[in-house]
Structure 1
Amino acid sequence: MMKLSESLASYIRSVSYEQLPDDVVEFTKLCILDYFSSAIAGSDTPPVAKVEEMVRELGGHEQATLITGGKSSVTNAALLNGASSHIVEQDDIHKGSIIHAATVVIPAALAIAERDDLSGKDLITAVVAGYEVCFRIGEAVTPSHYYYWHNTATCGTFGAAAAVAKLLDLSEEQIVHALGSAGTQAAGLWEFIEDGAMSKQLHPGKAAMNGVIAGLLSQKDFTAASRILEGNRGFFEAMSDAYDVSKVTEGLGETYKIMENSFKVHASCRHTHHAMDIVAELSRERGLDAEDIESIEVGTYQVAINITDNDNPVTVYQGKFSLQYCTAHAFVMQEGSLNTFNEENLWNEEIRGLMSKVRIYVDSAKDGAYPNQWGALAKVILKNGEHIELDTDYPKGDPEQPVTKDELVDKFMQLSRKVDQSERERIAQKILSLEEVEDLEMLFPKNRVDIK
């Protein structure tokens, strides 16, 4: 029987641009566009500024473009560009694996592809392979792994390594070692959420960087564990209470997991989006005000409660991870865009007042359907005595409730407003015709404007 890493290595070697269906190519370009939306939006935030300062101090050969401007080494570029894409809470998400793949796979792939003068077709192929690998490993350990471990950081490292291995044209044996080196570096604990700490941005940046390191070392025939996933002291045994090995190889090479990817509409934790969708829609359709509400009960799955149960957020970041706050925010603001999550709205008396009326609980049906469905119930009681029941199984942006290409282009134009409009239009056009692009440096912004 083949080892899991051998099966994945065989897949990574075999996948080619020519065999990708047209819809997979088009969807992958949207994933890359969505990555740049978040990466540009996060590029001037305090955590990214600190990473950039460190990167500048470390120095390095000018091999790959930084989202903040200029160039550095491929490892530094992967680190910074990964961190920048995971801060405004609008990066993509895969339900089954609970991974924000763009933040780890794409910055790693971009760095190597740019350094080696590879094409847009090469980048698309590598991204498809990276998403496939990390989604499958994430599905194998979900949901037990997710309680302590940030899947994007841990499982995402394998995806970054897979994408890099594809771009470096590693042999199957070298890819096995690359996956071994990726797995032994995989880390990222959820404890940061207790403090709202900047570690959340370090996680994808370091995972992307580690994927690059794993690939580059393997190119030099640096050896690593050949059974890093299923070994007695490997990833599954060490980091999951319950795992399903079959998830790694079932249908491998026959399906394209990237097509299961979801996009985020609201600028908050994905585990808050279900409730936000349905209460915002109620508020818009009925023209209700917060003062009309007696109470709101939100029933959802246990993992959402674990991550977002905070009835008194005191920072904007904590607000994005508070189901109580996000529910009230969405009702009052009738949306949850990046512009509405700010200090003023965090302390908005109307939102705060409604937040105190929101109760959250675990709904057994929603919990049982997780992670295939990230659903919620909302029971809204009005002061006039009317009871309103709302229900959703899929937040907006899931494949079952998709956003359109035009909506993702609009999202990019909004989130990249710190770049002048002509430059935004140029970048979007380049990414949407990526199969024709030969110089990947052209995907990065050149001109910025000050946004107050």
Structure 2
Amino acid sequence: MTFSRRFSEYVISHRYEQMSADAIMATKLAILDWLGSAIAGGLEKPAKILSETLNTFGGLPQSTNFVTFEKTSVHYASLINGGASHILELDDVHKASILHAGASIIPAAFAVAEWKQATGRELIEAVALGFEVAIRIGEAVSPSHYEIFHTTGTVGTFGATVAVGKLLGLSVDEMVHALGSAGTQAAGLWEFIEDGAMSKQLHPAKACSNGLLAAALAKQQFTAASQILEGRRGFFAGLVKEVKEELLFHRLGEGYKIMENTYKIHSCCRHIHPTLDCVQEIFRENGSKIEEVERVVVETYQVALNITDKPDPRSVFESKFSLPYAAALMLVKGKTGLDEFTEENLFNPKIRRLTEKVNLRVDPALDALYPNLWPSRVTVHYADGTKLTKETHAPKGDPENPAGELELRGKFLGLAGKVISEKQAKDIADTIMNLEDVENVSTVFS
């Protein structure tokens, strides 16, 4: 049996009633967390460009565009909302697969659920299954795939396809073809980070729209490769140095990968979060001694430095991928949320001087824990010769150190409240957290 067929048989035979209460709750929280990032992300320039560009092409009024809150085509809504939800660096991530699953899966599922007037239960099931397949493929190809390819764009395409395919009622054979079309479209290169370019947001946007296209074409009997993952010229052969195939189906059906999801508290690259949690502890204990800091030593895993060793960020976007700057920002401000990553703070002399004192190192023992754990150790040395060290293997938001419903509701209200009224935000949060009772997803924003 091919890998695509095995996944397809699992997805198509799955029923909402199989899901545990914990899995349902985890899925609702994932949707709520994604929605906050999408709504607030709609204020940002990349989202506005996406929206304005696609609006010039027209589009049937089928699904909500979170930049304008007007209806556009399900295709354009997937693109726009996928991009918008990845801008603020506050969207979820799954550690072992190194995947921002929410931004690359939920926008497509939500847009299709609106279009097809699906029930909340159908949306919950589709999202959970999209996460299941995408995360498993991501685990199998990580971390080598991540060296060049942005997993959110590549692997995310498979997850979007599964979620949409489930909502469209594909057969097993149709889902196999849908996955074949997904794999041949899967793309996303890390080169964007060299320029701090907006194409990072294009990765989940295209994962959503390509997944939608793959599933919709399969519904119309459009054929594709049946062995798109393991085939001689397939996804693994073309885009992956090392594949751990044993992880693809390990304990499939015994639980849900969405329950392993991680949520962001800090508004920056997730590879920086372990360090920021450590620095925040130090700030709370010794924040008054900021002028006495002589140097800051950060020890972590190699991939974190590959992505975030940027000592001189020149834009707010770049600052969210600068571990030295983010650590200095936390030492000065005591928090690193959306309101701290600003143009004013970017060129704050006090923060810049401290940035120069941050030294980054790879610790082999910590490096060996990645990608299952994303650890960091921070030592702040003071002028009087004293030092303070903090270490974490599970920053806040990890399943081992979870952010609960109350915290994620608060995060959502803070983000959505930048765009809509407090009452509207609370009503939407209540609706999402009772999504299993919604008879028609298109009424969520009514």
1:5-154 superposed matches below 5 A? 5-68=4-67, 69-154=69-154
How far apart, in 2, do the equivalents of 1:185 and 1:58 lie? 22
1:401-440 superposed matches below 5 A? 401-417=401-417, 418-440=419-441
Unaligned runs of 5+ residues in structure 1 are: 447-452
- Work out whether 1:4 is the aligned partner of 2:3: yes
Residue 97 of structure 1, CA deviation: 0.4
The letter for the 2-side match of 1:45 is E
How far apart, in 2, do the equivalents of 1:350 and 1:288 lie? 14
C-alpha deviations, 1:16-72, integer Å up to 9, x for none? 111100011111101000011100110121111110011111112111111121111
SS state of the match for residue 6, structure 1?
Answer: helix
Q: Which moved more, 1:385-394 or 1:314-323?
A: 385-394
How far apart, in 2, do the equivalents of 1:152 and 1:327 lie? 25
* Residues 117, 441 of structure 1: alpha-carbon distance in 2 compared, 3 angstrom cutoff: closer
Asked whether the equivalents of residues 110 and 123 of structure 1 are also in contact (C-alpha less than 8 Å), the reply is yes
How far apart, in 2, do the equivalents of 1:229 and 1:87 lie? 29
How far apart, in 1, do the equivalents of 2:274 and 2:114 lie? 38
The letter for the 2-side match of 1:426 is D
Unaligned runs of 5+ residues in structure 2 are: none
| Residue 367 (structure 2) aligns with | 367
Asked whether the equivalents of residues 141 and 242 of structure 1 are also in contact (C-alpha less than 8 Å), the reply is yes
| Residue 186 (structure 2) aligns with | 186
Q: TM-score, normalised by structure 1?
A: 0.97
Residue 289 of structure 1, CA deviation: 3.5
Q: TM-score, normalised by structure 2?
A: 0.98
Equivalent pairs: percent with the same residue? 49
Asked whether the equivalents of residues 296 and 359 of structure 1 are also in contact (C-alpha less than 8 Å), the reply is yes
1:2-401 superposed matches below 5 A? 2-68=1-67, 69-401=69-401
- Count matched residues: 444
Asked whether the equivalents of residues 160 and 207 of structure 1 are also in contact (C-alpha less than 8 Å), the reply is yes
How far apart, in 2, do the equivalents of 1:29 and 1:53 lie? 30
How far apart, in 1, do the equivalents of 2:42 and 2:158 lie? 25
The letter for the 2-side match of 1:13 is I
How far apart, in 2, do the equivalents of 1:54 and 1:4 lie? 38
SS state of the match for residue 317, structure 1?
Answer: helix
Residue 285 of structure 1, CA deviation: 2.1
The letter for the 2-side match of 1:133 is V
C-alpha deviations, 1:265-318, integer Å up to 9, x for none? 000000000111111111112333421211111011111011001010011111
How far apart, in 2, do the equivalents of 1:393 and 1:144 lie? 21
C-alpha deviations, 1:348-368, integer Å up to 9, x for none? 111111111001011101110
How far apart, in 2, do the equivalents of 1:245 and 1:174 lie? 23
Moved over 4 A (4+): none
How far apart, in 2, do the equivalents of 1:282 and 1:443 lie? 42
Residue 14 of structure 1, CA deviation: 1.8
Asked whether the equivalents of residues 379 and 388 of structure 1 are also in contact (C-alpha less than 8 Å), the reply is yes
The letter for the 1-side match of 2:50 is V
